[in-house]
Structure 1
Amino acid sequence: MGKAGTKGVSRAERERQIVDVALEEFGGKGYSGVSVAAVALRAGISKPLVYSYFDSKDGLYLACVHRVGGLLVDAVAAAGTRSGSAQHALDTLSAIFTAVEDCRYAWAVLYDPALPPAGETRDAVRFYRGRLAAMGAAGAAGLLSHAGHDDPLDHQLLDHVWQYTVAAVMRWWSDHPDQSAAEMTARCARLLTSLGAG
């Protein structure tokens, strides 16, 4: 990641550059393992400048959450065109992979277990997680309904399995950064086909 610099750069561009650096820092080390000073140093700017843009560490993390939360929600929503079909699961995974290929830490930032228990940042995380969870539940319900299965516990169980599966896949991908979005999609297609789900 290059330095953000301070001269001849618009405020919007400088904010984007700082968030780019912060995403990698927070995504790689977790909320509790990152300081504003470390982000500023890596971005090649002063710590007071970061504070002037984001007010606090929480403000900086909040900007990261909005960036990745919007990215993930938009990607999953766009993948909903095949809702109710077995292909929907793969379409959703592919959309997530493609959306975050250049922002591999997106999932880690949104699902960091070490976030503060309350406040604006936690509220934003809950909002985006809730949107993603609701779309996942709707997709699972659509798949079962399409197959003629209306048992509420079946719906609940499949939703539970889906949520944990996506989290596990994203963790695996973060441990294998050499894998491209296309390679991950192909790998998941093989697995889903083998399981009879794709």
Structure 2
Amino acid sequence: MRPNPRRALIVIDVQNEYVTGQLPIEYPDINLSLANIGRAMDAARAAGIPVVVVQNSAPAGSPVFAKGSVGWELHAVVSERPHEHHVEKTLPSAFAGTDLAAWLKRNEVDTITIVGYMTHNCDDSTVRDALHAGLAVDFLADAAGSLPYDNRAGHATAEEIHRIFTVVMHSRFAAVATTDEWIAALHSGEMLPRDNIFASNQRARGLLAAR
């Protein structure tokens, strides 16, 4: 992370579809992640960090996220809190086909913190695009979440998906932390710990002490 970073909090797709709709988040517990998303937004507000709310949209008649539907609407945890910018997207990454990159540049943001849904889809896509754009990224694992999949490639539980994606993120793409750790870092001015592919692999092979 840069010294004296200029931060923004990016709140991705915290919509009813993931809470009471057709794609319920299963891990971590939705009530935990929603509470932590609210805490992160409140902490950002207190620290003078701008908040960007991202909302996924699909065409009318789509089974999920149909624009104007109840499932498409932002969850109250987000809709009842203030934000500086709103981004509507139709692809996984919050950067794809939106003005997010231009808004961050205009506001001289160099470090973003990502919360919201889903860890393995829109969050992960946004994390990677941010890294490739030269931004430092924090990801709050307990303010995000996943759901299970079963397809021709196999079956994976929500916990497996969330855990594996966060491990991979922390190896190169983002500093993965809890909401408590992030808020403490805001107060102390300390940087969140980051890692790299080589050290992550060395630890897995028993060639480097565990962190």
TM-score, reference length from structure 2: 0.29
| Structure index of larger Rg | 1
TM-score, normalisation: structure 1: 0.30
